[in-house]
């Protein structure tokens, strides 16, 4: 049976959050009475996460249940009669591809306590990426889930 794109997305968000808080699959599994293999299946989207289990994960990982669906805006939604109700998320969307390095960088960055240093690092990364206007007010006002 092919994987459902929503199940894969929710699983990726579970893995991202679990990794951001520094928790192993085994530890999360123990906390909810599952094996690490089952957590792995959830994270890969091979098994669908039920609503009560998703709520349990949200509580344990200190995020609202909606966290797992962030980034799905624009995913195709099919009505019962087979009509597509919206367009798909582009494959190059940041929500579609978050790597372990992204998570490591974010965790290390959040450990920095000096706001001025954080700003200089952001400017440096933008400069290294060829950007000319590093200070983007829209990005500065965004808040990310707590680690």
Same domain, 1 and 22: yes
- For residues 5 and 45, state if they share a domain: yes
One domain for residues 29 and 62: yes
pLDDT value at residue 37: 96
Same domain, 86 and 110: no
Shared domain check, 127 and 81: no
C-alpha distances in angstroms, 103 versus 29, 46, 54, 100? 21, 22, 21, 5
The vertex-67 CA angle with 114 and 84, nearest 5°, equals 135
Domain count along the chain:
2
Domain carrying residue 132: 99-147
pTM value is 0.58
The string of pLDDT tens digits covering residues 56-81 is 999 999 999 999 988 886 666 666 77
Q: What are the pLDDT digits (tens) for 93-143?
A: 555 567 778 888 888 888 888 888 988 988 898 898 887 655 554 444 444
């Amino acid at each position: 049976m092919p994987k459902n794109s929503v199940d894969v997305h929710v699983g990726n968000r579970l893995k991202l959050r679990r990794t951001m808080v520094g928790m192993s699959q085994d530890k999360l599994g123990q906390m909810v009475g599952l094996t690490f293999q089952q957590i792995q299946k959830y994270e890969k989207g091979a098994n669908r996460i039920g609503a009560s289990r998703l709520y349990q994960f949200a509580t344990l990982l200190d995020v609202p249940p909606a966290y797992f669906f962030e980034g799905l805006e624009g995913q195709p939604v099919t009505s019962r009669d087979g009509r597509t109700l919206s367009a798909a998320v582009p494959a190059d969307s940041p929500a579609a591809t978050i790597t372990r390095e992204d998570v490591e960088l974010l965790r290390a960055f959040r450990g920095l306590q000096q706001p001025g240093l954080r700003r200089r690092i952001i400017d440096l990364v933008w400069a290294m990426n060829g950007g000319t206007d590093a200070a983007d007010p829209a990005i500065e006002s965004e808040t990310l889930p707590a680690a």
